[in-house]
Amino acid sequence: MSSGHEQISRRKFLSCGGNVFGGVLAAGGLASSAGSQAGALPKSRAIGANERINAAVIGIRSRGQGHIKELAEIPGVTVKTICDIDQRLWPECVKLTEHVQGAPPATQFDLRRVLDDKDIDVISIATCNHWHSLATIWACQAGKHVYVEKPCSHNIYEGRKMIEAARRYDRLVQVGFQTRSTPQARQAIQLLHDGIIGDIYMARGLCFKPRKSFGRADDGPVPPGVHYDLWLGPASWRPFNEKRFHYNWHWHWDTGNGDIGNSGVHQLDVALWGLKRKDHPRKIRSFGGYFVFTDCSQETPNTQTAVYEYADGTILQFEVRGLYTNQEVPIDGPLRGARNFFYGTKGWMAMRGGRWKTFFGRENTPGPSCETMKPHQTPGSIPPGEGTHMKNFIHSVRSGKRQHLTSEIEQGRNASVLAHLANISYRLGRDLVFDGRSEKFIGDNEADRMLTRDYRRPYVVPENV
């Protein structure tokens, strides 16, 4: 982590014209307007139950386009601004937004200028993983409520700072674990908590996503319209390479967290949910590798197994299979996908999204399933703001009640921690023992250094948010 004199809030950064370190931000004209006063806390307006909410979407490729559609389709919500460092993406997303809501959005490449807009109430973040935390913290400081995609952070330290920022500025922060707002999944978890399969002693999560090699490429010039320094943000400086850019950033440690922190973190969250765990595991072991392809620059594993043991002996197992594999789950659906298992003293449950089945005894006798029960038959299976995860977020912003969020930052952060713990064990090649209270490893300074990163100034996640 960078030293204390490098840590600076977004407000102070802006008030100094973006040049507080005596240097000039690299290419792209990144100096933001200096409208904020140093030390002045933002004043966010109260949002009435029927008042229009103005939203901005940060990151507009793939998942960000989903955010645009989900927000614009909610009555009383306007996508006022779309923001992305790649201006080549703007025309398509302007058309998409206008098609859905009947009016085009403003466009911006620098998220700091978006946060300066006092008319914007909520921010949704679908950037690369390494930007999730700093963007969230800055948004909270600017008085915005936040919906941030998974994993909520790029490392363990950042997630703690996100919680602190949400609390200090009294902002609602929802993490993009969409299964939490699915009535059928909520029904299954409630049944687990009610003891349908007895006492649960183990959970498993699977991420089956066969992926091809994306190859290698030489470093090259930054494409016109791409603000590369801002894209790098907290990450170390390196020349532009298309194989490290759009989507492929998932497979490089500086910007992504591999598939366990990409698709797999959804199933880690479901596992924690079913186990009712709010604590961190005591012991962690993760191993695997990158197999088959020799023509690829990928750094993260395409095959990974992680085993977590909690203080009471409960086991959580997780597996990434990025190559060829069997189905391994008795639920209809394509081979490609991600699933969960829960094992109890009476039987077991298999889940895939909102689909679930139970089996009992040595004969695996079929029990209740999503096909035999309606969600409304289980109390609490319908989330506040019934519908999508984004609708739950907007409903919670209108109510002003943190408890209405189905994946509030403190809860949503825990699954991200699991992904980070597994990756630290994998990268170090050894078992780890973790103190969940201090969020430090026991007797392992090398592992402790991987709880955070060396931030590139001025994009520093500060100690004091």
Residues 342/329, Cβ–Cβ less than 8 Å: no
* Residues 175 and 188 placed together within one structural domain of the fold: no
Specify the DSSP class assigned to residue 127. S
Residue 401 maps to a domain: no
Confidence at 18, pLDDT banded by 50, 70, 90: very low
Shared domain for 140 and 188, answered yes or no, is no
pLDDT digit string, tens, across residues 181-190: 999 999 999 9
Q: Which of 180, 196, 229 is the last residue of a domain?
A: 180
pLDDT, mean of residues 150-167: 98
Element containing residue 413 per DSSP (H, E): helix 409-428
Same domain, 241 and 267: yes
In DSSP notation, 217-265 reads ----PPPTTB-HHHHHTTSPP----GGGSTTGGGGSTTT--TTTTTTHH
* Last residue in a domain, options 163, 180, 197: 180
- Nearest CA to 53 out of 145, 122, 146, 126 is that of 122
Q: Are 227 and 219 in contact (CB under 8 A)?
A: no
pLDDT surpasses 70 at 37: no
How would residue 229 be classed by pLDDT, with cut points 50, 70 and 90? very high
Task: Give the model's confidence band at 26: pLDDT under 50 very low, under 70 low, under 90 confident, else very high.
Answer: very low
Q: Are 412 and 152 in contact (CB under 8 A)?
A: yes
pLDDT at 370: 92
How far is the C-alpha of 312 from the C-alpha of 279, rounded, in Å? 11
Give residue 195's domain range.
181-382+408-443
Which among 180, 211, 243 is the end of a domain? Answer: 180
Confidence of residue 329 (pLDDT cuts 50, 70, 90): low
Count CB atoms within 10 A of the CB of residue 285: 16
Q: What is the DSSP letter of 374?
A: -
Residues 243 and 167 grouped into a single domain: no
Residues 122, 198, single domain; the answer is no
Question: What's the domain count of the chain?
Answer: 2
Give yes or no: residues 88 and 203 share one domain. Answer: no
Residue 222 included in any domain: yes
Residues 224 and 337 in one domain: yes
Q: What is the pLDDT of residue 50?
A: 74
Task: Count Cα neighbours of 271 within 13 Å in the Cβ-side half-sphere.
Answer: 33
Q: Are residues 74 and 190 part of one domain?
A: no
Asked whether residue 326 falls in the same domain as residue 414, the answer is yes
Residue 45 DSSP code: P
Q: What is the CATH number of the domain that holds 259?
A: 3.30.360.10
Residue 197, domain member (yes or no): yes
Same domain, 53 and 152: yes
DSSP letter at 104? P
Q: Is residue 403 part of a domain?
A: no
pLDDT at 45: 61
Instruction: Go through the chain and tell me how many residues it has.
Output: 465
Mean pLDDT on 342-365: 95
Does residue 10 register a pLDDT over 60? no
Cβ neighbour number for residue 425 with a 10 Å cutoff: 25
- Looking at the fold, whether 369 and 351 belong to one and the same domain comes out as yes
Label residue 266 by pLDDT band (50, 70, 90): very high
Tell whether 243 and 323 lie within a shared domain: yes
